[in-house]
Structure formats: C-alpha cells, structure tokens
C-alpha cells in the first residue's frame, strides 16, 4: 500500500480482494449471529404462553381448581360405595357378636337348668 504524491492510495489487487473477503465474512457472521438471536427470541416468545399455562396448571391442579380426571371421579365413587359396604359389614359383625354373647349366656343358662333338673330328679 502506497500513498502517492497527489494524496491517492495505491493498493495491490490482492489486498483489495482480501479486504473484500474479510468484510464479506464479517458481514455474513454478523447476520448469522443476528438470525440466531432472532430465532431464540421467537422461540422464547412462542413458549411464554405455554409456560404460563404450565404454571397455572402446576398451581391449580393440586388445589383442585381445575377439576379432576374421570378416573379419579370413578375411584371416589367406588370408595364411597366401599365405605357404605364396610359400615354395613361392621354393623352385621357387631350384631353377630351380640348374638354370640347371647348364645353363650343362653348356653350357660341351659347348662345350669340341666344341672338343676338333675338335682331335682335325684331328690327322693
């Protein structure tokens, strides 16, 4: 590169081509980087509503604000039915235990009556 007497710059063609290539590569790199940033920005903007819905679901589902699944409702109905059946079985069991106590008492009374009858028969 030389500066001439009339303030002109003389460059070899090789330097001009290499500068042009460097500028082209730098511009392509800049635009590629800008494209990547735009792509990531777009993905973040598209994912924002999904993240908000996920947050609402994550908070609302355990609190029961979003309802329940049909399978859960069916299980709740089955649990209620089983609870009512268990109460019926418990009442039958209690009634059976009371009957067993009555039967044991009646058996002891009958044994006592049998002994009393034998004593009366043995008397002259």
State the Cα–Cα distance between residues 43 and 38, nearest whole angstrom.
9
Q: Considering the entire predicted model, what is its pTM? A: 0.40
Give the span between the Cα atoms of 69 and 53, in whole angstroms.
18
Distance separating alpha carbons of residues 44 and 32, to the nearest angstrom: 18
pLDDT value for 92: 84
Cβ pair 66, 57 in contact under 8 A: yes
Cα separation, 51 vs 1, whole angstroms: 58
Answer for the pair 29, 43: CB distance below 8 angstroms, yes or no.
no
Break the chain into its structural domains and give their ranges. Answer: 1-67, 68-124
Query: What are the residue ranges in the chain where pLDDT is below 70?
Result: 1-4
For residue 44, the model assigns a pLDDT of 93
């Amino acid at each position: 590169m030389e500066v001439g007497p009339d303030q002109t710059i003389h460059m070899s063609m090789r330097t001009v081509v290499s500068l042009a290539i460097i500028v082209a590569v730098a511009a392509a790199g800049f635009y590629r980087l800008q494209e990547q940033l735009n792509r990531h920005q777009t993905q973040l903007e598209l994912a924002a509503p999904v993240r908000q819905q996920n947050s609402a679901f994550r908070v609302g589902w355990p609190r029961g604000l979003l309802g329940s699944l049909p399978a859960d409702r069916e299980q709740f109905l089955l649990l209620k039915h089983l609870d009512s059946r268990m109460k019926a079985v418990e009442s039958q069991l209690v009634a059976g235990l009371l009957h067993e106590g009555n039967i044991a008492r009646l058996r002891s009374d009958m044994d006592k009556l049998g002994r009393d009858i034998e004593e009366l028969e043995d008397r002259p």
